[in-house]
Structure 1
């Protein structure tokens, strides 16, 4: 008798999260006593603001939160998310158009599950966050990469999207500010892309998790808004799913609280899926998120200013290294240099031919962890998160300067 595979082909095809893998390796080396500085994890180093923690502590003691609640989320939290969506994304949505999820990743997964059938194509501006391909694949979709390099600020154009469109194209993934590049589309670019999607009847999954983390050119300037595609093109509202969460803006990565906002029929489908997948998100996290969205916003601005300071430091210092081409990120908390100029050259007895090999070399010889470009698309790039302490950030870059000096 032929033995059947133990693991389904669907699950066997999933790649481990590269960012989490690099971060885990860095932490293991740190635990072994090596002074590794890690730029791998995309999470703020700040504690969750105190008023949010206090709301969670109060929620623990409230028996209402010890029971099941609606799978789509607590009604008052869904109302608060709808208000935030109107304020920051320009979309007037009801609570019925909101589904609260276990982090932004679940929202991304469910968005593709409700939109895609087998063979449907998704246009994915590249470089892309490492989870998108797996979520698309699990929904039966086909990823179509649309690459924009450092020479164009990592911003795809309508001409590039149109060249990649086929009669099987159903969805455009749109991310601004971007992980891994920190690139932010201008309002004019967003409108042009949105009008193109509307013209061709394409759905849009817009990941807006970093929309509140943008930076001005001047230290004291007003940061630009990351304009939502549905605000730029209101007529697109019936074909857009917005994905968001509290993880990045409020330093709440461990609380696992995200959401999706979209047309009622699509959100009903997502809620039905979630009712079988996870049921409701932890009520404690939901109460904490409610406090985050409706409470004082001063801590958010303090963290944003710290990220901006670190952004300026890491861009300036990495730019001193011959072989690093460093576009200036305008949002999120990542810098994504083109390091192809370092490949094919010998460094400490090693000649890397890819950014994967270069990342290994940097970890071994400089004890610095960065995520290679292969995790986000083509080779030849490295992602550095600057969401870590100022001293560690500067020390890590100085190690690279010595290695490649």
Structure 2
């Protein structure tokens, strides 16, 4: 009998058994575009990136100053509490009352997240399991689908671009699906389509939730980025909303603190407690100096938030004016940091991924193809208004030059 040391070594590759939850994830449709964008930048090409909603503006100097001060305190470098320090949760409650008239208990109805995306994903893990179904708005922001899939849940996507029809389809699905959906996810102002709603939408959603006994998660990421006098309503402002759901907010957009990863979950006590339980196992909370700076931001920088929204409105107008001038069809958004534009003829037959690749390869402008947000996004592009007005005007010129050159070449 041979010893283990005498067993011949095999050159066959070792098999890595990836978990089924990872195998369930679909291919990453932005991969080709990101690869080409990277290659062009390495080659020295100045790509104008309107693909990702990544703010390019810095936070208010007061926020940075407070962060710097907090970094000097040795106590702030220890583990923090996973649900967020008390004073930060109190500020969230104060802001909700001032802005939306919603009263929240900072101890039981608010938890701080490492960005709202982390909180949303972990809440899906706390709520969903095999056999559970979630309704998500379509075209969909990818994490709304992937977080449910990673939690072993099933997804039904319903077009949300006509809000009344979206509500009707939610009711129809609840009436005809067994078991009924456990969760409905909403996201208004909507990423990517920029669709907005009024308070009566949430009033009706709460009624449906109670009638059909489903939970609600409102992704309110673009609460602070609204235009032309429009004020995005909070789900929690509707009567009975806290009985059936929660809302996620973030400081990434309005406060230009995307990389700081500061988000919040507020609303139903049981859902907040479930999220806090998951977070208690997974993390030690947000870096405390970041939380302290976030307190100062909410106390003293509301004017800066309004200024950020005003700047995005100027950029929206510059980009929309330019695209309309060269013949594109679109609706001016009332919220978000995006423009949702229909691919112009005769290019629509290319498909949104190939068209986006063309704009990047031949025009030096990166955009997000609508197909990356599901089948309902096909035929559209999402353009982020994160660059300054000069860069946005240049982007339109480069797009126009790219398409006109192609048209001339095709005709010849």
- C-alpha RMSD over aligned residues: 2.3
Match of 2:231 in 1: 225
SS at match of 2:112: strand
Structure 2 portions without partners, runs of 5+: 1-9, 405-412
Question: Structure 1 CA distance, aligned partners of 2:166 and 2:187?
Answer: 13
**How far off is 1:26 after superposition?**
2.8
Q: In structure 2, do the counterparts of structure 1 residues 338 and 344 end up closer, same or farther at CA, with 3 Å as the change threshold?
A: closer
CA contact (8 A) 2:115 2:263 kept: yes
| Larger CA deviation: 205-214 vs 262-271 | 262-271
Match of 1:326 in 2: 330
SS at match of 2:142: coil
User: Are 1:270 and 2:275 an aligned pair?
Assistant: yes
CA contact (8 A) 1:23 1:40 kept: no
CA contact (8 A) 2:340 2:382 kept: yes
Question: Structure 1 CA distance, aligned partners of 2:99 and 2:211?
Answer: 25
SS at match of 1:143: strand
Question: Structure 2 CA distance, aligned partners of 1:21 and 1:104?
Answer: 27
The match for 1:239 among 234, 238, 244 is 244
User: Are 1:366 and 2:363 an aligned pair?
Assistant: yes
Match of 2:407 in 1: none
TM alignment of 1:1-400, pairs within 5 A: 4-15=15-26, 22=33, 25-96=36-107, 97-148=109-160, 152=162, 156-165=165-174, 166-167=177-178, 168-216=180-228, 223-232=229-238, 234-322=239-327, 324-339=328-343, 341-343=345-347, 352=350, 354-378=351-375, 379-400=378-399
CA contact (8 A) 1:247 1:253 kept: yes
CA offsets per residue over residues 56-102 of structure 1, 9 Å max, x none? 11110112212122111111111111222233344311112211111
* Bigger radius of gyration: 2
User: What number of residue pairs does the alignment pair up?
Assistant: 387
CA contact (8 A) 2:164 2:201 kept: no
SS at match of 2:329: coil
CA offsets per residue over residues 289-344 of structure 1, 9 Å max, x none? 1111111322212211110011112122222344x331221101101112274446
CA contact (8 A) 2:248 2:266 kept: yes
Structure 1 portions without partners, runs of 5+: 217-222, 346-351
- Normalised by the length of structure 1, the TM-score is 0.89
Q: In structure 2, do the counterparts of structure 1 residues 17 and 249 end up closer, same or farther at CA, with 3 Å as the change threshold?
A: farther
**How far off is 1:23 after superposition?**
5.5
CA contact (8 A) 2:206 2:240 kept: no
**How far off is 1:25 after superposition?**
4.8
| Larger CA deviation: 180-189 vs 9-18 | 9-18
Q: In structure 2, do the counterparts of structure 1 residues 25 and 403 end up closer, same or farther at CA, with 3 Å as the change threshold?
A: closer
CA contact (8 A) 2:235 2:247 kept: no
Question: Structure 2 CA distance, aligned partners of 1:251 and 1:366?
Answer: 28
SS at match of 1:332: coil
Question: Structure 2 CA distance, aligned partners of 1:178 and 1:274?
Answer: 27
Question: Structure 2 CA distance, aligned partners of 1:164 and 1:284?
Answer: 45
Question: Structure 2 CA distance, aligned partners of 1:188 and 1:38?
Answer: 36
